[in-house]
């Protein structure tokens, strides 16, 4: 059985595999606000970044959709 820390690390690795937003902004990371918006652009890639590990841990506690997607092992 994995420890909670191992689940966090594995969940973060999976989270980093999410693609950044396309021009139509239809990716999970953008739609669910699972990123940090750092500016605006009219052509892709849109200026955002993935959460850092500490931000990921914090927002997993704040956002049920993020928790359920990456840390809820059933």
Token pair for 22: 């396309």
User: What separation in angstroms does the CA of 19 have from each of 5, 6, 25, 46, 61?
Assistant: 24, 23, 11, 11, 22
Residue 19 confidence (pLDDT) = 86
The pLDDT of residue 37: 85
Share the mean pLDDT of the chain: 86
> Is 60 exceeded by the pLDDT of residue 74?
no
Closest CA to 54 of 64, 46, 62: 62
Q: Give the count of alpha carbons within 13 A of 54, CB side only.
A: 0
0.85 exceeded by pTM = no
State the pLDDT at residue 24. Answer: 63
Residue 65 or residue 22, greater confidence: 65
Q: What does the domain layout of the chain look like in residue ranges?
A: 4-70
């Amino acid at each position: 059985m994995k420890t909670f820390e191992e689940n966090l690390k594995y969940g973060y690795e999976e989270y980093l595999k999410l693609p950044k937003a396309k021009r139509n902004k239809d990716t999970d990371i953008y739609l669910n606000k699972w990123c940090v918006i750092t500016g605006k652009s009219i052509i892709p890639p849109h200026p955002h970044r993935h959460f850092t590990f500490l931000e990921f841990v914090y927002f997993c506690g704040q956002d049920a959709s993020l928790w359920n997607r990456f840390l809820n092992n059933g």
